[in-house]
Structures are given as structure tokens and as C-alpha cells.
Structure 1
């Protein structure tokens, strides 16, 4: 399948993308993580999409999972509406702004920033800091 994004076309195997996203969504729901750190490698390495497209797309891809998780946390009384009202618009805005910035920067720089972010996230999850 060919995907067009701001005048550029990319060839994507939609079946592999859907299967990978489905598996990641199940794992994210089971283990309680957002899925974004795994969606980025799926879309860049497996589907071959450029980083400037993947940054915003990964936010959109995890939107529904995050909304469902937020609803469940709300039902359990484990939800901070103020935090949600701040972070939700920020994530949407970031999804529009980040591809614009990433498109103007070298793809190597974008990948390095993503790797640093993922390493920091991994270290945080391991309790290093």
C-alpha cells in the first residue's frame, strides 16, 4: 500500500503493520505500558517509514489504548483529570509539531534523539533513576 504524507509517498505493507500493532496493543494492555517505545521501531525498522512521520504517527497509534486505559483508571478512582487535561492536548499538539521539526533535521539526528529517549525510558523502567 502507498501512503501519502505532505506530498511524499511511502510504500508500506499494511498487513504486517496491522499484525505488529495488534500484538503491541495486546502487550501494552496486559503489561500497562503505552506502546509508543515499541511502535517507533515497528514503523521505522519493519515498515521502513522515516522518523519524522513515525513520531506523530506513534502518538496517534497509542491514542485509543491510552484513552481506554485512562477510562479504566478513572473507574478505579486512580485518575487525575487535571493531569489528563494538560497532557492530552500537549500530546496532540506534539503530534503535529514534532514531524515539522523532524522533517527539517537530519534523519540521523532524529534517530539518535529517539535512541537516547528510549534508553532513558528503559533505564527508568529498570529503576536506575
Structure 2
């Protein structure tokens, strides 16, 4: 899932991930995302920090406080790259921080890392 109020960012991420074989769900703000998470159960969420109505930190916090969705990795997206911004993301439960503008490779590296981790967890669960 990609949550961003910028249509350009949403579409760019969708193109990059779709070309890599991912199914992508788009949301234009935190409220839109929270409504779609229950329906789509995303494996990974990219969340913009600066959005109207419900910002990325609030959105991430709500996702992580819900026991049904707390396991979903949330990667914060922001043009701000300061220590305070990264720390604030960690405080609300984000798993990583990706600075905008991101490249196709940087986005897909994160997707691949989480896909590999999920595959390993599934393998361990199946072996048990």
C-alpha cells in the first residue's frame, strides 16, 4: 500500500512496484488508508509524513496500535531527512524511513527485503 497525498508519488510508486510484480493499493490520505487496510490486508505500507487531515505519524500510530495490523511494516516517506523526523517515525512504530524523491531501486530494495523476511517467516512457520 502507498499512502501519499501527491498523485505523482502514488503513481510513480505504483508503476515501479507493479513492474516488479507487486499488487499495489493506493490511498490519498490516512483516513482513506485506514478504510482500505481492512479490505486489502497489505503486506507492506509506505506512508507519506506530510498529509492533510491525518498526517503520516498519526496514521502509522493508528495502524501500529491496532492488534490486527500492528505486524504490517510501515515505511515512512518524507522529503525531510532530519534526525528528529526519523526519531519521530520510530516513536510511532515505523519500521523504516525512505527519503523523497526515492528511486525505483531504493523502493524495490525495501520491498524485496520485506518480501524475503516474510518468506523466511513463512518457511519457519511451515517447518514447525
**What's the TM-score, normalizing by structure 2?**
0.36
Higher strand share: 2
- Higher Cα radius of gyration: 1
